[in-house]
Amino acid sequence: MRIAPSVYERTTGNTSELVNSLRFVLSRLNQSQVYTRYMSVESLFDQYYERAALPIRNTEFAHTQLGSLDIRQVIEDDEFRNLNHKIVLKNSEAFVVWRDQEWGFGENSLDVTHFSDGIVQSLSLRHAGDSVTGLKLSMTRSDWLVPDPDFRLPYIFERSDMETWYKASNFKMELARVRLAWDKETKHTFTVKDAGIDKNKAEHLYRDVEYRIEIDDGIRLTIDGKSPRRVNWKTEFTSEQIVALYEYASTEQWMDGWGPVTDIIEQAN
């Protein structure tokens, strides 16, 4: 399926219009649009879209309703980076966020983040043209998302359970880095694999969440505590699998759910 196009709106004007816009913004900020540290994902989406629609923002925005899907798109170009977000709610609940970002010098990234039962899973592909140079897989929780202090993203991860990075090598994408229990506020993290660090087996306890991980031909992670679960991801991907992930992220297959990603990244038992 494809998102039906909507009419974009852009606000420009002279100095007097800018002054009126600033007054409008201040009035909005003095109302109930104040951020709390923790809020629902849906509230984060709402406030991000409302900010994008403020007259002083250099944004284009659109809103489309397709059956049970509520689709909001925000394009922002601040001359330093270009961001294109599509935010989708399904039956009024957070479903998926897609982002295309230009980094300059021909580099772009495609990000797809899915939400299900409090679990947040994210796929990020760094690419130059149609050549994928890097892959990141992340797993966090919906109550660990907070507003972006720079007001450029719908949310940021304040904490994450696991983040993995893969780099292109010999026509494959190989595991290069793994970290657990990352916490933005306290700067805490537990590195399992990185330059000079290679732990095949480890245990870690952080804020009442216990992590047990083994890495050989797969990444086997067990999480105990609140929201216990098990993960079994691959440590490398073939070029065909990376092409499939790129097509998933670039052709709106992501609108059909996280299942196609699971089929590729999960290690067979």
Looking at the structure of the chain, the number of domains it has is: 1
Q: Of 32-36, 61-65, 82-86, 196-200, give the lowest mean pLDDT range.
A: 32-36
| Average of per-residue pLDDT values in the chain | 86
Supply the pLDDT for residue 9: 35
| 3 within a domain of the structure (yes/no) | no
| 128 within a domain of the structure (yes/no) | yes
Q: Look-up: residue for tokens 């679990």?
A: 119
Domain span holding position 259:
15-265
Phi, psi of 127 (to 5 degrees): -145, 155
Supply the pLDDT for residue 13: 43
| 1 within a domain of the structure (yes/no) | no
| 105 within a domain of the structure (yes/no) | yes
Q: Between residues 28 and 140, which one has the greater pLDDT?
A: 140
| 215 within a domain of the structure (yes/no) | yes
Amino acid letter, residue 246:
Y
| 2 within a domain of the structure (yes/no) | no
Render the burial of 114-147: b for 16+ CB within 10 Å, e for the rest. bbeeeebbbbbbbbeeeebebbbbbbbbbbbbbb
Q: pLDDT for 100-130, tens place per residue?
A: 998 877 789 999 999 999 999 999 999 988 7
Q: pLDDT for 33-81, tens place per residue?
A: 444 556 899 999 999 998 888 876 688 889 999 999 999 999 988 777 7
